[in-house]
């Protein structure tokens, strides 16, 4: 018998043969993913009243803004996170990085997927027909 088949969650006692409802996987040799998520949810309840501030360089701010704008396009993005990005974090970053007309425009266009540059396909390798007598 391998250790994997004997594994048992130290919190809920689920095993390889009797997983949690909805399924779970091992995140530690004796801790299942379901229990890790449950524990994280309890901890997150405790941080609700905390406040933090961050310090970015201009470049980091631009990269963060771009990453958030990209993340917003994910269809699975929860609405409350979308609102957090669009109404709170995004505008602060956008204002910070808009140091001239070009950066201001880039930062603004990032909210609009229709303004994306099309990704160019790899150019076809040049085909050359060799004619007789050449």
Provide the binding-site residues for Zn ion, judged by CB under 5 A.
Answer: 9, 11-12, 14, 20, 24, 32, 34-35
CA distances for 99 relative to 41, 50, 66, 93, angstroms: 39, 31, 16, 11
* Nearest approach, Cβ of residue 9 and Zn ion (Å): 3
Angle at 107 (CA atoms; ends 104, 110), nearest 5 degrees: 145
Residue closer to Zn ion by CB (options 35, 107) is 35
Residues 94, 97, 100: CA angle, nearest 5 degrees: 110
Give the whole-angstrom CA distance, residue 96 versus residue 61.
7
Distance between start and end Cα atoms, the chain? 72
Residue 12: CB minimum distance to Zn ion, A:
3
* For Zn ion, the closer CB: 24 or 61: 24
The distance of closest approach from Cβ of residue 90 to Zn ion in the complex, given in angstroms and rounded to an integer, is 37
**Nearest-approach distance from CB 4 to Zn ion, in angstroms:** 14
* CB of 11 vs Zn ion, minimal distance in Å: 5
Between 34 and 61, CB nearer to Zn ion: 34
Choose among 52, 59, 9: nearest CA to 33: 9
Which is closer to Zn ion, CB of 20 or CB of 104? 20
* Residue number, 20 or 86, with CB nearest to Zn ion: 20
Token pair in block for residue 107: 């930062």
């Amino acid at each position: 018998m391998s250790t994997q088949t004997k594994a048992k969650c130290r919190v809920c006692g689920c095993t390889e043969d009797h997983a949690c409802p909805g399924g779970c996987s091992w995140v530690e040799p004796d801790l299942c993913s379901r229990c890790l998520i449950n524990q994280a949810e309890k901890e997150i309840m405790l941080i609700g009243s905390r406040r933090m501030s961050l310090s970015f360089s201009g470049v980091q701010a631009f990269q963060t803004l771009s990453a958030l704008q990209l993340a917003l396009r994910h269809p699975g993005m929860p609405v409350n996170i979308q609102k957090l990005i669009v109404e709170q974090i995004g505008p602060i970053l956008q204002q910070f990085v808009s140091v001239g007309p070009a950066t201001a425009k880039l930062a603004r266009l990032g909210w609009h997927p229709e303004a994306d540059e099309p990704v160019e396909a790899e150019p076809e390798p040049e085909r050359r027909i060799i004619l007789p007598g050449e």
